Amino acid sequence: MSRHFARPYTAAMRPSGRRQPARGLSLIELLIFIVIVSIALAAVLRVFVQAGTASADPQIQRQALAIAESLLEEVELMPFTFCDPDDANVGSATSSAGCASLSEAGIGPEAGENRYATPQFDNVNDYHGFAMTGIRDLSNTAIAGLSGYSASVSVSASALGSISQGSGDALLITVTVTGPQSTSVSLQGLRARHSPNAAL
In a domain, 48, yes or no: no
pLDDT of residue 70: 96
pLDDT of residue 183: 92
In a domain, 197, yes or no: no
**Is the whole-model pTM more than 0.85?**
no
pLDDT of residue 196: 52
pLDDT tens for the 200 residues of the chain, in order: 556 555 555 555 555 555 655 566 788 888 898 999 999 999 898 888 877 666 557 889 999 999 999 999 999 999 888 888 888 888 888 888 888 887 776 788 888 899 998 889 988 989 999 999 999 999 999 999 999 999 999 999 999 988 899 888 899 999 999 999 889 999 999 999 865 554 33
pLDDT of residue 154: 97
pLDDT of residue 82: 86
Query: How many folded domains does the chain comprise?
Result: 1
- CA 70 to centroid of chain Cα atoms: 14
pLDDT of residue 194: 62
CA–CA dist 155, 158 (Å, integer): 9
In a domain, 94, yes or no: no
pLDDT of residue 10: 57
Spatial CA neighbour of 131 closest among 187, 176, 66: 176
pLDDT of residue 30: 86
Tally of CB atoms within 10 A around 114? 13
In a domain, 100, yes or no: no
State the residue range of the domain holding 129: 57-79+107-192
In a domain, 9, yes or no: no
Condensed to tens digits (0 to 9), the pLDDT of residues 137-171 reads 999 999 999 999 999 999 999 999 888 998 888 99
In a domain, 198, yes or no: no
DSSP string, the chain: -----PPPP-GGGS-TTPPPPP----HHHHHHHHHHHHHHHHHHHHHHHHHHHHHHHHHHHHHHHHHHHHHHHHHHTS---SB-TTSTTTTT-SSGGG-SS-B--SSSPPTT-BSSSSSBP-SGGGGTT-EEES-B-TT-PBPTT-TT-EEEEEEEE--BTTB-GGGT-EEEEEEEEEETTTEEEEEEEEEEPPTTSS--
In a domain, 93, yes or no: no
pLDDT of residue 199: 38
